[in-house]
Amino acid sequence: MADAFSREELSDLKDVFVQHDADGDGTVNTAELLKTINALDELVTKDEVETVIQVFDTDNDGSLTSTSSLGS
Ligand SMILES: [Ca+2]
């Protein structure tokens, strides 16, 4: 899973992604991330966004939360 990223890269991406909680509800979903990424012209694809969300989405609700973290 997530072969494209190292744990460090995933952690960095998550830290970036959680800063883009557009509606302020404490979670960041794919739609919010894609909107932000498109605005920033970041070189991140929808697949990559979904990968990061899947890795951190510990409760399987399709969103990242600021408290999500990688298991050790
Ligand atoms: Ca949100």
The pLDDT tens digits of the residues spanning 27-55 come to 888 888 888 777 766 667 788 888 888 88
Average pLDDT score over the chain: 79
Q: How high is the pLDDT of residue 13?
A: 81
The secondary structure element, H or E, covering residue 39 is helix 30-40
Whole-number pLDDT of residue 65: 81
Neighbours of ion ligand 1 (CB under 5 A): 21, 23, 25, 27
pLDDT of residue 32: 85
Instruction: Please indicate, yes or no, whether the overall pTM of this predicted structure exceeds 0.85.
Output: no
Percent of the chain with pLDDT strictly greater than 90? 0
Domain spans of the chain?
A: 24-56
Residue 36 Cα, ligand 1 centroid: separation in angstroms? 12
- How many Å lie between the centroid of ligand 1 and the Cα of residue 26? 6
